[in-house]
Structure 1
Amino acid sequence: MYRDGENCFIQQAFSPDGNFRSQLASRVTVSDDGNCVSEWNTDVSAIARFLGA
């Protein structure tokens, strides 16, 4: 998940060994192959409501 102000962008990630540490980097919206990276957008308040905060 990447935060930009009140906006949050969630990207699907795959890690065969369950270690996502190697994927912690700046947000990328286009792959090395030139394809758009699949992502969903939401905002901080929607996430807080979901978590019951």
Structure 2
Amino acid sequence: MIVLVVALLLLGIVLGAVAQIPLPLSLVLGALIGTWLLVFAVRERMGAQRRSR
């Protein structure tokens, strides 16, 4: 859960900095954070399925 909080905090920092950094860099950082969140969600779902068996 703490990883998710940190990810959302980093997303907020990056979104707050979007006005200060170039658009391509903003898009790359957003894609990286989105990928990290997607991997996190998949790992959590797989772990929940293993525990429910």
TM-score by length of 1: 0.24
TM-score by length of 2: 0.24
The structure whose residues are more often helix, as a share, is: 2
Larger Rg: 2
> Whose relative contact order is higher, 1 or 2, with alpha carbons under 8 Å and at least 6 apart?
1
- More strand by proportion, 1 or 2? 1
